[in-house]
Amino acid sequence: DQQVKQNSPSLSVQEGRISILNCDYTNSMFDYFLWYKKYPAEGPTFLISISSIKDKNEDGRFTVFLNKSAKHLSLHIVPSQPGDSAVYFCAGGGGGTSYGKLTFGQGTILTVHP
Amino acid sequence: DTEVTQTPKHLVMGMTNKKSLKCEQHMGHRAMYWYKQKAKKPPELMFVYSYEKLSINESVPSRFSPECPNSSLLNLHLHALQPEDSALYLCASSPPGGYSPLHFGNGTRLTVT
């Protein structure tokens, strides 16, 4: 049972344009969501998060949108830069007894072309 | 530079060997984690320690044995592994409670021959 899905294995974008990465989830118990970026041979690096009580969170070039009714979230990167090329994972987490357990999506490979 | 340090970076071991993976953080975090990532798959949780006590074990086989000697250190002891255990093993830490993000190390690439 894949609780977090990233249906696009890859995305290619021109430098300066917007990158939109999508994520769907099935577990309505998730009460926060995170996006991580991962370069080869490195661990995931935290980018941005959003609580389930919000529908938008912004940090510089990165904005995460949450649509609870659709169980969908997206990460917008504007403007995209070649250094953003990496694998992006979305993850869902829940508090209480499941605190600290993040369930990751399969990842989307973003390539930003100069 | 990552604030969570994992050693070794690479490890090759036979199925009869005993080895240990080490993780260290000095951010004052009181929750530490082991995740496993197979090629082209997402990271999957193995263990969670909170205040040096094991709080989550995701039904991991006993050939993996975690240990948290103190709030800064986390070990994963390996014994009698199988080739299918070959993976990237990621350590992470976070402040306990709330929705703080996990800080990951760069991982140990384990190959079981």
Report the greatest alpha carbon distance in chain B: 41
- What residue ranges in chain B does DSSP mark as E strands? 4-7, 10-13, 18-25, 31-37, 44-50, 53-57, 64-70, 73-79, 87-94, 103-104, 108-112
Convert the pLDDT of each residue in B44-98 to its tens digit: 999 999 899 998 898 999 999 999 999 999 999 999 999 999 999 999 999 876 6
Whole-angstrom Cα distance, residue A28 to residue A88?
A: 22
CA torsion B23-B38-B100-A24 (nearest 10°) is 180
pLDDT of residue A114: 94
Paired with B92 in beta bridges are: B33, B104
Q: Are A18 and A78 within 8 A, CB to CB?
A: yes
Q: Decide if B106 touches A, using CB distance below 8 A.
A: yes
Closest to A44 (Cβ–Cβ): which among B43, B58, B97?
Answer: B43
Chain segment A67-111, per-residue pLDDT in tens: 999 999 999 999 999 999 999 999 998 755 456 788 999 999 999
Question: Does any CB of chain A come closer than 8 Å to the CB of residue B50?
Answer: yes
Residue B1 clears pLDDT 60, i.e. is over it: no
In the prediction, which pLDDT does A2 show? Answer: 75
